[in-house]
Amino acid sequence: MSAAEYRNVVVVCRSATGESLRSARALKDLKAVRLLGIAEELNATEELFFDGMQVASVHDAEQLIAAARTLTNRQGALNHIVTAQETLLEPVAQTREALNVPGMSSETVRRTLDKSLLKSTLRRAGITTPHDRIVTTIGDALRLVSESGFPIMLKPLKGSGALASLLIRTGAELHQALALMQPEPERPVLAEVFQYGQELCIDTITIDNEPRFYSLCCYEPSILRAIEHPEKQWTCVMPREIDDDLYREFIDQGLAAVRALSVGNAMTHLEGFISLEGRLLGFTDATLRPAGARIGPMLGFAYDMDPYRAWARVAVDGVFDGPWEREYAVGTIFLRGVGSGVIERVDGVDSVKSELAELIVDARWPQAGANKSNTYTGDGYLTLRHRDTERVKTALDFIAHTVRISYSHAETGLEWKERFQNYQQLNRPAWEVGGSQ
């Protein structure tokens, strides 16, 4: 092919490792793509990118725009600029707009990622969300408490991941949290009524604003409770059967939410809660990229398809390659323990391998000698699949009661200050930090 026959596709990431590397490779494998990169680290990526630019911060739109213009001068017009990382969606959208490259607008990104704009959009469409209030002063938070009582949640409007969310049970905790977050008119936070019930998510592939595919995944316990209780080895489960009455309202309103957000061509991820009877309690968060917590790879195992290629086809070609049949139930357990410092020992590995070898389809075992990860996804994971959902759940429970991680120090837990100030780094799983995969 001549240079004129190729499409110049730019992928933006902090570094081409882990999930970012797999996403970039999927883009490169598309028909007639010449892959260009903008990253903070370009080491060992010479064979991945046809050309690349290194910047000090990929979160700075001005740096991205300058780098994209340099690539344009060197390689010609850019056809697409994409990212699979949530915190980069807005600066990437701003870069597209500055260079007149087609794709999702920054307005669409803000409408989805800003929790206040998200909820106002959903409410106008008749979709249930938990009661909340924008907080710029202690009085704003106290008004929500007077209306709904404790507990409540405090969240940055654009916080990425549950590590930026604080569960508030008392007036003393409220004052402590607000002293840390320091809300003001230019930097408000969201106070939201805490939701009891089953936390779950709906993921879609949406083309021209219409969901063409959806999948459900259930968190046990909720992600926030997993953060609050580091001794729990928490799970994500994709039941094989997702169209029963228990999930019907969640699915119907979830698909309506995606339509209301007018996302164009995107993979979407919405989180919310239902009661034990299946009544929707409300949607709490949404994003416009492949889901984290291993949900993307789990989709591949549930449907026997390549989730990275599916994302690339949506992001660049605007195409959905399904339909696919949900052949399996899939579950992932995140391996964690109480303590800090260095991993000294991992017990129960041989028993799990012996009992569940035929179910394990993906594994990252904690490694003795490694520093403990402070992320809520822990020091490793196991992913299982089977045609019977209950078999997967039983196996995950066996792992939770069998695997034990011992650390060099007994104390554990992150202070609110560490969680809130460093959540972008702490949200990076242990297997995503350092080294390519």
pLDDT in tens, 232-291: 899 999 999 998 899 999 999 999 999 999 999 999 999 999 999 999 999 999 999 888
Question: In terms of domains, do 185 and 228 share one?
Answer: no
The CATH code of the domain that includes 148 is 3.30.1490.20
Residue at a domain's end among 193, 219, 246: 193
Residue at a domain's end among 65, 84, 103: 103
> Does residue 223 lie within any of the structural domains?
yes
Contact yes or no for 295/268 (Cβ under 8 A):
no
Q: What is the mean pLDDT of residues 329-344?
A: 94
CA angle 377, 90, 49 (to 5 degrees): 75
188/184 Cα distance (integer angstroms): 5
pLDDT in tens, 148-200: 999 999 988 876 556 678 889 999 999 999 988 889 998 899 999 999 899 99
Question: In terms of domains, do 268 and 326 share one?
Answer: yes
Which one-letter DSSP state was computed for residue 207?
E
pTM for the model stands at: 0.92
Contacts of 205 (CB under 8 A, 6+ apart): 211, 212, 213, 267, 310, 314, 320, 322
Q: What is the pLDDT of residue 374?
A: 78
pLDDT in tens, 18-69: 889 999 999 999 999 999 999 998 876 668 999 999 999 999 999 999 999 9
234/248 Cα distance (integer angstroms): 25
> Does residue 435 lie within any of the structural domains?
no
> Does residue 108 lie within any of the structural domains?
no
Q: Which amino acid is present at 318?
A: G
Q: What is the mean pLDDT of the chain?
A: 91
Res. 417: pLDDT tops 70: no
Question: In terms of domains, do 219 and 283 share one?
Answer: yes
Question: In terms of domains, do 319 and 340 share one?
Answer: yes
121/166 Cα distance (integer angstroms): 24
> Does residue 123 lie within any of the structural domains?
no
> Does residue 67 lie within any of the structural domains?
yes
Contact yes or no for 346/398 (Cβ under 8 A):
no
The token duo for 198 is 């089953």
Q: What is the pLDDT of residue 160?
A: 56
pLDDT in tens, 70-117: 999 999 999 999 999 999 999 999 999 999 999 999 999 999 999 999
Contact yes or no for 383/294 (Cβ under 8 A):
yes
Residue at a domain's end among 84, 103, 122: 103
Question: In terms of domains, do 371 and 243 share one?
Answer: yes
Q: What is the pLDDT of residue 361?
A: 98
Question: In terms of domains, do 47 and 169 share one?
Answer: no
In 10 A of CB 230, how many CB atoms?
Answer: 20
Residue 229: pLDDT band with limits 50, 70, 90: confident
Question: In terms of domains, do 415 and 330 share one?
Answer: yes
Question: In terms of domains, do 334 and 366 share one?
Answer: yes
The CATH code of the domain that includes 241 is 3.30.470.20
Q: Which of 112, 58, 45, 127 is nearest to 88 (CA)?
A: 58
222/274 Cα distance (integer angstroms): 12
Q: What is the pLDDT of residue 437?
A: 41
Residue 3: pLDDT band with limits 50, 70, 90: low
The CATH code of the domain that includes 86 is 3.40.50.20
Contacts of 67 (CB under 8 A, 6+ apart): 38, 53, 55
Per the structure, how many domains does the chain have?
3
> Does residue 289 lie within any of the structural domains?
yes
In 10 A of CB 334, how many CB atoms?
Answer: 24
Q: What is the pLDDT of residue 165?
A: 82
- The residue behind tokens 């508030």 is 168
225/393 Cα distance (integer angstroms): 19
Question: In terms of domains, do 297 and 391 share one?
Answer: yes
Q: What is the pLDDT of residue 47?
A: 83
Res. 305: pLDDT tops 90: yes
62/13 Cα distance (integer angstroms): 15
> Does residue 120 lie within any of the structural domains?
no
The string of DSSP codes covering 357-386 is: TTTEEEEE---TTSBPP-STTTTEEEEEEE
413/207 Cα distance (integer angstroms): 42
Q: What is the pLDDT of residue 158?
A: 78
Cα four-point dihedral sign 220, 225, 226, 232: negative
Q: What is the pLDDT of residue 340?
A: 87
Question: In terms of domains, do 295 and 329 share one?
Answer: yes
Q: How many residues are given for the chain?
A: 437
Residue 436: pLDDT band with limits 50, 70, 90: very low
19/437 Cα distance (integer angstroms): 8
Q: What is the pLDDT of residue 415?
A: 61
Res. 418: pLDDT tops 70: no
Residue 375: pLDDT band with limits 50, 70, 90: confident
Higher pLDDT: 196 or 314? It is 314
Question: In terms of domains, do 260 and 345 share one?
Answer: yes
> Does residue 323 lie within any of the structural domains?
yes
Domain that holds residue 10: 3-103
Question: In terms of domains, do 158 and 298 share one?
Answer: no
Q: What is the pLDDT of residue 435?
A: 43
Q: What is the pLDDT of residue 335?
A: 96
Give start and end residues of each alpha helix (H) in 106-228: 106-113, 115-124, 138-148, 171-181, 223-228
Q: What φ, ψ does residue 290 adopt, rounded to 5°?
A: -60, 140
Q: What is the pLDDT of residue 421?
A: 52
120/401 Cα distance (integer angstroms): 42
129/273 Cα distance (integer angstroms): 9
